[in-house]
């Protein structure tokens, strides 16, 4: 083979690689969105079990989101942990990868967080079920194509963009 032939082959490989990179990125984004939706469904299942066991929605004050985010996160994780919801289910994979924090470090105080916000309800047992279009959990950041994801009181998932239409 001549140097010219090797260079042509390398250029062709570089062109093909550059064409495939956006496709791979799109698959990764869709996989992250699917994982995020699965996390929301897990949270829904855990919250439903909590309501059945305790007769009300977890009473975690939303003002902690700003004043003490770590405490807010720990309260939610500990509230649903007895129902099989691990801390990893509270983390959106897109946010996790953008922060660059390894999963092994998520339980350290400096990294402890939840990426889904629980909607506040009163202490009445029927309050979390006012209507099918009422959200239970909302994703903090809109990394996914359709925007911030939500899970509704009937278990369906949607996005803020879809909800606003």
Beta strands in the chain (DSSP E): 116-118, 135-139, 149-152, 157-159
pLDDT at 165 over 80: no
**17-32 pLDDT per residue, tens:** 888 777 776 788 888 8
pLDDT at 1 over 80: no
The CA distance from 120 to 143, in Å, is: 23
Give how far Cα 23 sits from Cα of 20, 34, 62, 134, 164, Å: 5, 17, 39, 35, 29
**38-88 pLDDT per residue, tens:** 999 999 999 999 999 998 889 898 889 889 999 999 999 999 999 999 999
pLDDT at 35 over 90: yes
Closest CA to 131 of 165, 151, 154: 154
Q: Beta-carbon neighbour count of residue 101 at 10 Å? A: 16
Query: Domain containing 10: what range?
Result: 3-164
Q: What pLDDT band is residue 91 in, cutting at 50, 70 and 90?
A: very high
**99-123 pLDDT per residue, tens:** 988 888 999 999 999 999 998 877 7
Number of domains into which the chain is organized: 1
pLDDT at 130 over 80: no
Closest CA to 87 of 106, 104, 70, 72: 106
Q: What is the dihedral of CA 153, 158, 159, 162, to 10 degrees?
A: -110
């Amino acid at each position: 083979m001549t140097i010219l032939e090797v260079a042509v082959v390398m250029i062709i490989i570089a062109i093909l690689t550059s064409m495939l990179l956006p496709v791979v990125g799109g698959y990764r984004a869709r996989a992250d969105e699917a994982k995020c939706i699965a996390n929301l469904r897990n949270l829904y299942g855990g919250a439903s079990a909590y309501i059945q066991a305790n007769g009300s929605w977890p009473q975690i004050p939303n003002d902690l989101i700003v004043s003490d985010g770590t405490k807010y996160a720990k309260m939610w994780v500990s509230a649903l942990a007895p129902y099989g919801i691990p801390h990893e289910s509270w983390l959106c994979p897109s946010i996790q990868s953008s922060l660059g924090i390894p999963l092994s470090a998520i339980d350290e105080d400096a990294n402890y967080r939840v990426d889904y916000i629980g909607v506040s309800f009163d202490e009445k047992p029927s309050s979390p079920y006012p209507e099918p279009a009422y959200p239970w959990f909302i994703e903090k950041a809109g990394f996914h194509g359709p925007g911030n994801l939500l899970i509704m009181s009937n278990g369906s998932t949607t996005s803020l963009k879809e909800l606003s239409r």
